[in-house]
Structure 1
């Protein structure tokens, strides 16, 4: 016989958006997390970050599902975020939105080729980056 009491009136704790952050540079990942912040808005639940440093890890995580946004570093060594973004958009059914980080504003045409949903160039502007994340996560929530 169970002695557990039913929990009347308590709502399950809300979880924040799940964001994959791909970069082989640990400092770049820290800079993105700092710029975006812990949550998307006041009173919102914390963002659930999944940081990966390899393209294989990013592909595996994206294929597994459950992600609201992919932030890909276009300047990553070996497999850049632009090529990875194009591959994910072409191969993963219902791929989440992709935010591409580029090395310079002139790379926007390459970001378009990669099927990125938004682009932020370096040096990263925290307000622009945060606003782009909010916009893309909100779009994903409406589509989902």
Structure 2
């Protein structure tokens, strides 16, 4: 079984060592590289062999959000989990808007970090309940007002509603295809229809819509 190769980017050596220790017991995850600055993180990603990036927000030279922007420009499909000691309300929404697949507070336990890495490596999102609440209050969903007022089980077909709930729960297209016994291309088609019918733009906003309709 191939391991999920993680890049840990934090300017404090003791934090990097702590994360390495937290992940040591996960048999399917390995810390493939470390970086003490944004430029080092970019260099490591450009070298290749990275499946998930753990990126601290408070970085020297260039902050983590700036590096996130560049990573998403250069490697848009590479999952990035933002790390922070700041309260969720300060940076969580901004991080997700910029393309991060999740936002983790450094006070989280090892099980949460391992779950987050596994989920985003599979193509999903990792959004804690507290971050979901912040997103629901902070992100406007253009074109989704009508969808928000109307129960989604009436707006979407039965199969579309199934796919919607799984996408909103952070599941990847491949996982949904396996669970529903569908071809991945079929799931992608359902996803496109769901986005069109609800008026939202991406899986993060789908999750927000699910929160607002009390489906998550």
Counterpart CA distance in 2 for 1:86 and 1:110 is: 11
Question: Do 1:71 and 1:101's aligned partners in 2 also have CA atoms closer than 8 Å?
Answer: yes
Q: 1 or 2, which has the higher strand percentage?
A: 1
Kindly name which structure, 1 or 2, has the bigger radius of gyration based on alpha carbons.
2
Question: Do 2:37 and 2:60's aligned partners in 1 also have CA atoms closer than 8 Å?
Answer: no
Q: TM-score normalised to the size of structure 2?
A: 0.51
Q: Which residue of 2 aligns with 1:138?
A: 122
Which structure has more RCO (C-alpha within 8 Å, separation ≥ 6)?
1
Q: Helix, strand or coil: the match of 1:29? A: helix
Superposed CA deviations along residues 75-108 of structure 1, whole A, max 9, x for unmatched, are 2233222221111102x14441000002221121
Question: Do 2:8 and 2:31's aligned partners in 1 also have CA atoms closer than 8 Å?
Answer: no
1:98 to 74, 80, 104: 80
Q: 1 or 2, which has the higher helix percentage?
A: 2
Question: Do 2:23 and 2:30's aligned partners in 1 also have CA atoms closer than 8 Å?
Answer: no
Q: Helix, strand or coil: the match of 2:92? A: helix
Structure 1, unpaired ranges of 5+: 1-13
Runs of 4+ displaced beyond 6 Å:
none
Counterpart CA distance in 2 for 1:65 and 1:49 is: 10
Q: Which residue of 2 aligns with 1:8?
A: none
